[in-house]
């Protein structure tokens, strides 16, 4: 087995980040973001490009997960509208897997300095309750399961702990399934012109999301008072 030297590893990481930045620039330059709100226009654009349309969707899903330039629900609804609830679900989860893997590897390599380029130390203190390894996986799964909670944020937080990459990928993908299903199914029935059912689904999800946000904020604030202001999860 050939092991990579530190210089080669550094080169690979830099190359990966560079390619991601270039890809992001190309996507944001070539894709009209407003088209994601015009589902008919989006469907025509993606389907007429076949496999490249799927590749473009996956790239946008990855970039959205990493940089959060759009709410994830918009991408999921669009996926359900264009590809149907099942294939839309699969594409969204594949995009999350790829983005989650990349984020985890980079954060595990470069630590909190990289995370601080996206989130403040104050934001990191909100999840200080995840420092407890005995409850971490369960709490993390619950956060992913509840709509409205900052799932993409956890992709940057968990690599700062001693959580295994395999555990993170399983939790982050399995935990997203319920919320992604509701969004892609809602997008699918929008495409079927079943507007009343779509509105009902989005209303229920919205109500659950509000409750989820309130629960998350209450949990984070309760633990924040117990932690020293100088302590940050997995600081290194």
pLDDT, mean of residues 100-110:
91
How confident is residue 1, by pLDDT bands cut at 50, 70 and 90? Answer: very low
Q: Please compute, for residue 138, the number of CA atoms within 13 A of its CA located in the half-sphere on the CB side.
A: 4
How confident is residue 230, by pLDDT bands cut at 50, 70 and 90? Answer: very low
Under a CB-based contact definition with an 8 Å cutoff, are residues 15 and 8 in contact?
no
The CB density around residue 98, as the number of other CB atoms within 10 Å, is 16
20 pLDDT exceeds 60? no
Phi, psi of 226 (to 5 degrees): -90, -15
Residues 2, 104: Cα–Cα separation, whole Å: 23
231 pLDDT exceeds 60? no
Under a CB-based contact definition with an 8 Å cutoff, are residues 104 and 165 in contact?
yes
% of the chain exceeding 90 in pLDDT: 19
How confident is residue 18, by pLDDT bands cut at 50, 70 and 90? Answer: low
Who's near 187: CB < 8 A, 6+ residues apart?
A: 39, 76, 77, 78, 79, 80, 81, 82, 85, 88
pLDDT, mean of residues 115-126:
80
Which DSSP category does 37 fall into?
G
pLDDT in tens, 138-152: 888 988 888 777 788
Look up residue 3 and give its two tokens.
């092991």
**Angle 76-168-133 from CA coordinates, rounded to 5°:** 135
The CB density around residue 51, as the number of other CB atoms within 10 Å, is 7
The answer to which of 4-8, 154-158, 217-221 has the lowest mean pLDDT is 4-8
pLDDT, mean of residues 160-186:
91
Domain ranges of the chain: 6-224
pLDDT in tens, 182-220: 889 988 888 888 888 888 888 888 887 787 777 777 766
Residue with token string 């909670």: 149
pLDDT in tens, 45-94: 777 878 888 888 898 888 888 887 667 888 888 899 989 999 999 999 99
Under a CB-based contact definition with an 8 Å cutoff, are residues 224 and 125 in contact?
yes
Under a CB-based contact definition with an 8 Å cutoff, are residues 169 and 103 in contact?
no
For residue 2, the model assigns a pLDDT of 43
Residues 178, 103: Cα–Cα separation, whole Å: 22
């Amino acid at each position: 087995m050939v092991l990579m030297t530190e210089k080669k590893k550094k080169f690979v990481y830099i190359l990966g980040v560079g390619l991601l930045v270039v890809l992001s620039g190309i996507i944001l330059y070539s894709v009209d973001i407003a088209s994601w709100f015009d589902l008919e226009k989006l469907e025509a654009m993606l389907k007429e490009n076949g496999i490249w349309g799927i590749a473009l969707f996956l790239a946008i899903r990855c970039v959205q997960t990493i940089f959060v330039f759009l709410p994830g629900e918009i991408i999921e609804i669009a996926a359900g509208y264009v590809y149907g609830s099942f294939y839309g679900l699969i594409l969204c989860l594949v995009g999350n897997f790829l983005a989650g893997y990349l984020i985890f590897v980079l954060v595990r390599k470069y630590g909190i300095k990289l995370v601080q380029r996206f989130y403040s130390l104050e934001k990191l203190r909100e999840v200080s309750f995840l420092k407890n390894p005995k409850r971490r996986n369960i709490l993390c799964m619950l956060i992913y399961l509840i709509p409205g909670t900052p799932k993409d944020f956890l992709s940057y937080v968990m690599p700062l702990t001693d959580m295994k990459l395999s555990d993170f990928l399983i939790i982050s993908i399995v935990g997203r399934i319920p919320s992604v299903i509701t969004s892609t199914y809602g997008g699918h029935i929008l495409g079927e012109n079943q507007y009343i059912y779509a509105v009902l689904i989005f209303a229920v999800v919205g109500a659950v999301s509000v409750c989820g946000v309130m629960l998350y904020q209450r949990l984070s604030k309760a633990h924040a008072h117990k932690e020293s202001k100088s302590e940050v999860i997995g600081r290194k």
